[in-house]
Amino acid sequence: MEKDNRANRYSPETRARTMRLVFDNQGNYESQSAAIKAIAPKIGCGRDTLRDNSDFR
């Protein structure tokens, strides 16, 4: 059986950096969800990837 590597696709440093980007720019959007929706495609990941980490801070 092959191990599912999706959970480990991004390093902890990358996750921290992207969540910082979301939190720092959240004021430019109506909500955190709107910020995630705008930022996720720019950094090449899915919205759910960021949303799952939105409690990071």
pLDDT digit string, tens, across residues 3-47: 555 566 778 888 888 888 888 998 999 998 899 899 889 888 888
Sorted by where each starts, the structural domains of the chain and their CATH numbers stand as 11-52 (1.10.10.10)
CB contact set of 53 (below 8 Å; sequence gap of 6+): 15, 18, 19
Instruction: Look at residue 55 in the predicted model and tell me its pLDDT.
Output: 55
pTM, two decimals, is 0.67
Q: Flag whether pLDDT at 1 surpasses 80.
A: no
CB neighbourhood size of 7 (10 A):
8
9 phi and psi angles, rounded to 5 deg: -65, -35
Instruction: Look at residue 15 in the predicted model and tell me its pLDDT.
Output: 80
